[in-house]
Amino acid sequence: MAKILLNKKNLFHNLNLISNQAGSKEKVAVALKDNAYGHGLKEIAKLASEFGIKKAAVRSHAEAMKIKDFFEYILILADNNITTCSDTFHVALNSFESIALLPNDINVHIKVDTGMHRNGILPSELEKTILKLLEKNMNITGVFTHHKSADNLLTDDFDKQNEVFSKVKEETKKICKKLSIEIPSFHSSNSSALFRHKSMDESFARVGIATYGYLETTPSDNLPPLKPVMSLWTNKVSSRILKKGETVGYGGTFMAHEDMNISTYDIGYGDGFLRLNEQHHYITPKGFELLGRVSMDYIALNSTDNEVCLFDDAKPLAKLHNTISYEIVTTLSRDLKKEIE
Amino acid sequence: MAKILLNKKNLFHNLNLISNQAGSKEKVAVALKDNAYGHGLKEIAKLASEFGIKKAAVRSHAEAMKIKDFFEYILILADNNITTCSDTFHVALNSFESIALLPNDINVHIKVDTGMHRNGILPSELEKTILKLLEKNMNITGVFTHHKSADNLLTDDFDKQNEVFSKVKEETKKICKKLSIEIPSFHSSNSSALFRHKSMDESFARVGIATYGYLETTPSDNLPPLKPVMSLWTNKVSSRILKKGETVGYGGTFMAHEDMNISTYDIGYGDGFLRLNEQHHYITPKGFELLGRVSMDYIALNSTDNEVCLFDDAKPLAKLHNTISYEIVTTLSRDLKKEIE
């Protein structure tokens, strides 16, 4: 049975780098959305909590419920289908219209669009939004934004968005003073942004991909020495000698140039290990070659080992798939067994 | 909340074409492995059973357990970690070595490698395998094989594998007669193979992708008129006017050429909707354009509709991703809500 092996030492190494950069463990919210980027929601929640992280960010209320015992503070980023809400949960408001969809009396973080133009209210809607939230007796516990290009040092998008958000923060403080309400938390840093700031003067950073050992900042000089947390392992199903001239798998796209020992292994794109075909060339960390096409439940390798590590770093696969490491780890099936080493 | 809508009429239309081609409903085993190719294991099991299908093929014992009440006969294709097994379950033997891993007294289908060179015993190992299975008091209820290129009319692989399997069948019958044991079921047809045979003289066909409305036979003339069963729907999160010159999403890779209404929708590659970026150009069935990059939880479209159908046919997306329709549907997250229309 294929499995995801989680390297606790690497995770703690990353969380240590992140906490130091943020200033303290209290200033880190670990992003656990999408099954902790494929790593296992509960597994990473438990480990992050053991490390001393107190805050988490998830996508849905259902995710928050699964990890509520591990954290003092949980930010729900994208869920309007909420009926009741724990005191430790804080719900992101992604549009003015969604105020009407949310229940009264909950904790809300207002998302402000500072230039990504994806979600959030406009800076000009700030006062209107705060007043509407107060009408529903909601606690405004946060105001935040998201960077579109914090991972790109070659543009000035990061600075521009920071400038807009600074004004949003000032404006928020003014409105709060006027209305005699508490000033909320402010946060804007994702992984890339956190490592670009010289010092973190906000309430906390929301750290996803760096937790798991990746950072795709361009150019990639001076990146923090993060270590991948996940490795993917697969077990042998059957072995045979592929004779010279014989082919293996669908379409017979790999042909043996000499007699060779091959085996099939129990993973495929049905497990979210994205499909490679004859146009790709992938070599496992131990040097085994992926032969022909990835099928739904199987791959073939020039190996007879009982268990093979398919990857311990998602970057080479991301490159082959013309995508980012995030997708390689996040698409892995939730049903894959998780083990902690 | 994003959802998968299952078109019952289209499913029954496909199952009707498949059953007619196979000779009867009894001669069809519907492949439900990998969450019914992403469509929902229980949902498709229930519907296929309602249509009158009696047999199913799954990957694991756990999958078989979830649908055992819907079928009289379930073939488990890839699971050696079985301790007990229902009388209605039949376990595929993918290698001689795995006999030792399986419990005694179960029903076994021997997989024979007739040229795909992926899984199965060699034809020369047939008698040895049967004798070993009998030692463990197993019931040999099936002998089967899998085609590597039934979807390719331009090679003779299909005929060659059929020839080898014909010999395997004859040899099996001889051995069974000699040992005074019952002759097992024989099956070799997947979706493509079923529609290539003029008449089905085997026990049943294992039909996966055709059930769901796809067949990727090359060249694609004279394909049966199958209809896609799945459509993928996503809900609006927030709308805004993207002004001329403004960009949306990560990297700001889509820029508006004039003021336009856009919205974000609640699906991303975290849901298994594979990531597209600025190198791709995707248009939804209703004509909305996917703007910029797919992010983990969101996409942006030039739409303000509350609910948008992202695809009702996986083929255009498969083409964009340089893959097959199977992968587009199968990688979708098990957590996506399923509705039946």
Q: What is the pLDDT of residue A46?
A: 98
How far is the C-alpha of A31 from the C-alpha of A57, rounded, in Å?
5
- Residue A260 tokens, joined: 């060779």
Task: From chain B, pick out residues whose CB is under 8 angstroms from the CB of A331.
Answer: 269, 272, 274, 331
Among B70, B3, B4, B5, which residue's Cα sits nearest to residue B32?
B70
pLDDT-derived band at B103, boundaries 50, 70, 90: very high
Proportion of chain B above pLDDT 90, given as a percent: 95
Give A 56-75 residues with CB within 8 A of chain B. Answer: 59
Q: Is the pLDDT score of B222 beyond 90?
A: no
Task: Check B326 against A269: CB less than 8 A apart.
Answer: yes
- pLDDT given for residue A82 in this prediction: 93
Q: Using alpha carbons only, give the angle A328, A329, A331 rounded to the nearest 5 degrees.
A: 75
Q: Residue holding tokens 């009702």?
A: B312
| Residue A6: band (very low, low, confident or very high) from pLDDT cuts 50, 70, 90 | very high
Continuous H helices in chain A: 8-22, 33-37, 41-51, 61-67, 126-135, 157-179, 191-196, 315-320, 325-330
Q: Do A118 and B298 touch (CB under 8 A)?
A: yes
B78 inside 8 A of chain A by CB: yes
User: CB–CB of A296 and B33 under 8 A?
Assistant: yes
Tell me the Ramachandran region of residue A200: left when phi exceeds 0, alpha when psi lies from -120 to 50, beta otherwise: beta
Region B173-193 average pLDDT: 97
The rounded distance, in Å, linking the Cα atoms of A221 and B61 is 49
Residue A265 burial class via C-beta count within 10 angstroms: exposed 0-12, middle 13-18, buried 19 and up? buried
What's the token pair of residue A66? 């699964």
Residue ranges of A 208-237 with Cβ closer than 8 A to chain B:
237
pLDDT digits (tens, 9 = 90+) for A178-216: 999 999 999 999 999 999 998 889 999 999 999 999 998
pLDDT band at residue A84 under the 50/70/90 scheme:
confident
- Which pLDDT score is estimated for A269? 98
Residue B174 has pLDDT above 90, yes or no: yes
- Distance CA(A311)–CA(A332), nearest Å, equals 12
Selection from B151, B76, B154 nearest residue B116 by Cα = B151
Q: Which H or E run includes B263?
A: strand B260-265
Q: What is the pLDDT averaged over residues A87-97?
A: 97
Residues B334, A333: C-beta atoms closer than 8 Å: yes
Put simply, whether the predicted model's pTM sits higher than 0.90 gets the answer: yes
Q: B14-68 pLDDT, tens per residue?
A: 999 999 999 999 999 999 999 999 999 999 999 999 999 999 999 999 999 999 9
pLDDT tens digits along A261-285: 999 999 999 999 999 999 999 999 9
Write the pLDDT tens digit of every residue in B233-246: 999 999 999 999 99
So what's the pLDDT on residue B3?
Answer: 98
- B257-298 pLDDT, tens digit each: 999 999 999 999 999 999 999 999 999 999 999 999 999 999
Asked if residue A294 has pLDDT above 90, the reply is: yes
Q: Which of B248, B274, B275 sits opposite A117 (nearest CB)?
A: B248
Residue of A nearest to B295 (CA): A327
**What ipTM is given for this predicted complex?**
0.96
Residues of A (3-42) whose Cβ lies below 8 Å from B: 33-34, 37
- Angstrom distance (rounded) from CA B143 to CA B168: 9
pLDDT band at B315 (very low <50, low <70, confident <90, very high): very high
Q: What does each C-alpha distance from A208 to A171, A193, B96, B146 come to in angstroms?
A: 28, 11, 45, 42
Say yes or no to pLDDT of A260 above 90. Answer: yes
Given the structure tokens 């340089």, which residue do they identify?
B322
Answer yes or no: do A274 and B274 touch at CB < 8 A.
yes
Amino acid symbol at B65: M
pLDDT value for B199:
87
Using 50, 70 and 90 to split pLDDT, how confident is the model at B220? confident
Residue A219: how many other CB atoms lie within 10 Å: 9
Contact A36, A53 (CB under 8 A): no
pLDDT tens figures, A41-71: 999 999 999 999 999 999 999 999 999 999 9
Instruction: Give B154-220 as a DSSP string.
Output: TSSHHHHHHHHHHHHHHHHHHHHHHHT-PPPEEE---HHHHHH-SS--SS-EEE-TTTTT----BS-
B68 catalytic per annotation:
no
